[in-house]
């Protein structure tokens, strides 16, 4: 009961924080999230130093996504913070279609205490444009079953 109550209050706090972040970012146009380029991310993945990759959009394009990426919609990210507790000290990269929503998701994670969160600059559009590997839509759907 106590744990549920704490989790509920934490979720309310994070939603409130999320709204404040969004209002401030829209007003100022400034984000406090480090970004990683597709080149830098690919280098990490290729050298077996892959961070936790989180795709934060609900819909996956039929072109697919970066291999081994996890899908957690930005709206649900707040309620998954406790499940991701073991990654608070590890590198996490948020990814979206064009790089905007992943900034929001990264801000949420930073506010929740994650220490090493980055957003993929240019999102999946730039990743694909630069010719980096992707899992097809079918592969992703089969893996998530």
Proportion of the chain in helix, strand, coil states, percent, rounded to 5: 50, 15, 35
Please give the residue that has the higher pLDDT: either 70 or 42: 42
Q: Quick: pLDDT tens for 28-43.
A: 666 678 999 999 999 9
Domain range annotation of the chain: 2-143
Measured CA to CA, the distance from residue 7 to residue 14 in angstroms comes to 10
Angle at 33 between CA 32 and CA 35, to 5 degrees: 140
pLDDT bracket for residue 104 (50, 70, 90): confident
pLDDT bracket for residue 78 (50, 70, 90): confident
Give CATH superfamily name and number for 2-143: Rhodanese-like domain (3.40.250.10)
Residue 2, token pair as written in the block:
């106590």
Residue 105, token pair as written in the block:
């998701």
78 within 8 A of 108, measured Cβ to Cβ: yes
* pLDDT mean over 69-94: 88
pLDDT of 95: 95
């Amino acid at each position: 009961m106590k744990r549920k109550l704490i989790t509920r209050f934490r979720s309310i706090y994070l939603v409130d924080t999320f709204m404040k972040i969004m209002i401030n970012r829209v007003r100022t146009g400034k984000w406090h999230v480090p970004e990683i380029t597709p080149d830098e991310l690919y280098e990490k993945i290729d050298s077996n130093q892959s961070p936790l990759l989180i795709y934060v959009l609900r819909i996956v394009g039929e072109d697919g996504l970066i291999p081994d990426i996890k899908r957690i919609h930005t709206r649900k990210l707040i309620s998954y913070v406790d499940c991701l507790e073991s990654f608070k000290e590890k590198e996490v990269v948020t990814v979206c279609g064009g790089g905007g929503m992943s900034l929001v998701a990264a801000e949420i994670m930073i506010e929740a205490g994650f220490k090493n969160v980055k957003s993929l600059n240019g999102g999946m559009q730039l990743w694909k444009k630069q010719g980096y590997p992707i899992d097809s839509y079918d592969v992703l759907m089969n893996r998530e079953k």
